[in-house]
């Protein structure tokens, strides 16, 4: 019998962290052997000066760089296919993944798929699908995050929506992790307050679900705890004053820490959010923030002991589960986050379908309490009614 005190652990990639570090982009690309990289981002960022500046800086360093930005807020398979075509037609030899979760996820998927022959769905994170990947063809990736939420820049997977089935799929391979990450908080200062709040809540949920997931991984749990402490101390400041470099820096760390920690697992917050995001195209961080307290209630018996530790570590008023719940609800109120799934546009007549999708989501398996379609439906019902 395998001991419960056992596990297989990995730590993330090389990170160059600090204000102004984006100036090192050309050097980093060259260190990975790139001579003609493709910068993949979303349309909104593509129109900003930061992208034009990066392309110009690379050109000055003898690195002609292409641009691909046809990426939806919840990237879909066609975005990846189109990115692969742009990569091949442009004769590129590496990828710069620039943006929030959507841009970075799409870019990592493009880098994976330029060397594959089958459809991207062949590499969904199910069983040993990842062993089908032809690793020699994967393009090197430099990641440049411009939000502080998903932590995709240090992750080994991408979440891509299948437009035919309206489901989100986790595409995984160990070498999808970017080789180098440039975390420059100056790139995040222009993020609007509401998106700062949504992405920050995403980082919180990543840390929270990783901390609560079953299994033995004390390194992940320690990282998750510190990530939540950073969120508690710095997210309100980043939302209040986007130019606060100290707050922006700590939130960039918290985002990466959440993605590092959730190699231990996630849970039903993500199980509910993924189908809602796929069907209704909602913002992932906002959707997580809406569902978090309802999932906390469902998991209460399994996580109550952990909440004692968390409340003490965060120095919350009160103690235990109630103190943590009060803090979460307070954050949602401060950030004007929607309270119910109805406000996300979720329709009552689709709840059974969404619950089935949630039960099949790969994140469901590490929820602290086993949850099938019936249990997912109950959590959806609570979230629709605002019942806590």
Determine, yes or no, domain membership for 60. Answer: yes
Mean pLDDT value across residues 308-322: 96
Helix H or strand E encompassing 197: helix 193-212
- Domain assignment of residue 7, yes or no: no
* Helix, strand and coil percent figures for the chain, each rounded to 5: 60, 10, 30
> φ and ψ at 155, to 5 degrees?
-100, 160
pLDDT at 124: 92
Q: What is the pLDDT of residues 347-372, one digit of tens each?
A: 999 999 999 999 999 999 999 999 99
What does the pLDDT look like over 252-281, one tens digit per residue? 999 999 999 999 999 999 999 999 999 999
As a whole number of angstroms, the distance between CA 236 and CA 194 comes to 11
Domain boundary among 188, 218, 234: 188
* 149-165 per-position pLDDT tens digit: 889 999 999 999 998 88
Q: How confident is the model at residue 294 (pLDDT cuts 50, 70, 90)?
A: very high
Q: Under a CB-based contact definition with an 8 Å cutoff, are residues 61 and 33 in contact? A: no
**Among 140, 169, 188, which residue terminates a domain?**
188
Whole-number pLDDT of residue 57:
96
300 with 378, same domain? yes
Q: 181 and 198: one domain?
A: no
Q: Residue 221: which domain range?
A: 193-385
* Domain presence at residue 26: yes
Please tell me whether residues 29 and 172 are part of one structural domain.
Answer: yes
| Better-scored residue on pLDDT, 147 or 343 | 343
The per-residue pLDDT for range 86-102, each reduced to its tens digit, is 999 999 999 999 999 88
Which pLDDT score, from 0 to 100, does residue 8 have?
A: 59
In the chain, the number of structural domains is 2
Q: Which CATH number do you get for residue 277?
A: 1.20.1090.10
20, 184 contact by CB (below 8 A) = yes
- On whether both 234 and 366 belong to a single domain, the answer is yes
In a domain, 61, yes or no: yes
Q: Is residue 8 part of a domain?
A: no
Residue 69 has pLDDT above 80, yes or no: yes
- Report yes or no on 2 lying in a domain: no
pLDDT in tens, 27-68: 999 999 999 999 999 999 999 999 999 999 999 999 999 999
Residue 122 and residue 182 in one domain = yes
* Average pLDDT of the chain to the nearest whole number: 94
Percent of the chain scoring above 90 in pLDDT: 87
pTM comes to 0.92
DSSP 124: B
148, 205: one domain: no
CATH number at residue 41: 3.40.50.1970
Domain co-membership, 153 together with 282: no
Cα separation, 15 vs 8, in Å, equals: 22
Is residue 5 domain-resident?
no
7 C-beta neighbours (distance < 10 Å), count: 15
Structural domain ending residue among the three candidates 157, 188, 219: 188
State whether 180 and 264 are in the same domain: no
């Amino acid at each position: 019998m395998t001991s419960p005190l056992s596990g297989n652990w990995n730590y993330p990639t090389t990170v160059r962290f600090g204000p102004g570090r984006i100036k090192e982009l050309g050097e980093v690309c060259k260190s990975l052997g790139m001579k003609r990289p493709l910068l993949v981002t979303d349309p909104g960022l593509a129109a900003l000066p930061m992208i034009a500046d990066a392309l110009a800086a690379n050109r000055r360093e003898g690195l002609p760089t292409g641009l691909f930005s046809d990426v939806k807020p919840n990237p879909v398979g066609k975005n990846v296919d189109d990115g692969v075509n742009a990569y091949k037609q442009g004769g590129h030899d590496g990828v710069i993944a620039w943006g929030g979760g959507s841009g970075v996820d799409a870019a990592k998927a493009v880098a994976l798929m330029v060397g594959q022959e089958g459809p991207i769905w062949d590499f969904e994170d199910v069983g040993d699908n990842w062993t089908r990947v032809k690793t020699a063809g994967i393009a090197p990736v430099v990641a440049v995050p411009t939000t502080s939420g998903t932590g995709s820049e240090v992750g080994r997977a991408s979440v891509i929506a299948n437009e035919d089935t309206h489901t989100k799929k986790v595409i995984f391979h160990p070498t999808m992790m970017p080789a180098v990450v440039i975390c420059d908080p100056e790139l995040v200062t222009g993020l609007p307050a509401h998106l700062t709040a949504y992405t920050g809540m995403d980082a919180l949920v990543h840390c929270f679900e990783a901390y609560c997931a079953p299994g033995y991984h004390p390194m992940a749990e320690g990282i998750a705890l510190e990530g939540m402490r950073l969120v508690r101390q710095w997210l309100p400041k980043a939302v209040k004053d986007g130019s606060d470099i100290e707050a922006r820096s700590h939130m960039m760390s918290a985002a990466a820490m959440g993605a590092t920690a959730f190699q231990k697992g996630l849970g039903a917050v993500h199980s509910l959010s993924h189908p809602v995001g796929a069907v209704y195209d909602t913002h992932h961080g906002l959707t997580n923030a809406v569902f978090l307290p309802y999932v906390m209630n469902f998991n209460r018996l399994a996580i109550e002991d952990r909440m004692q530790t968390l409340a003490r570590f965060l120095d919350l008023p009160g103690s235990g589960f109630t103190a943590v719940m009060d803090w979460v609800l307070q954050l949602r109120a401060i950030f004007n986050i929607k309270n119910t799934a109805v406000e996300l546009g979720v329709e009552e007549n689709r709840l059974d379908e969404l619950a089935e999708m949630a039960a099949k989501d790969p994140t469901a398996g590490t929820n602290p309490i086993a949850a099938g379609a019936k249990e997912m439906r109950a959590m959806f019902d609570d979230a629709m009614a605002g019942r806590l």
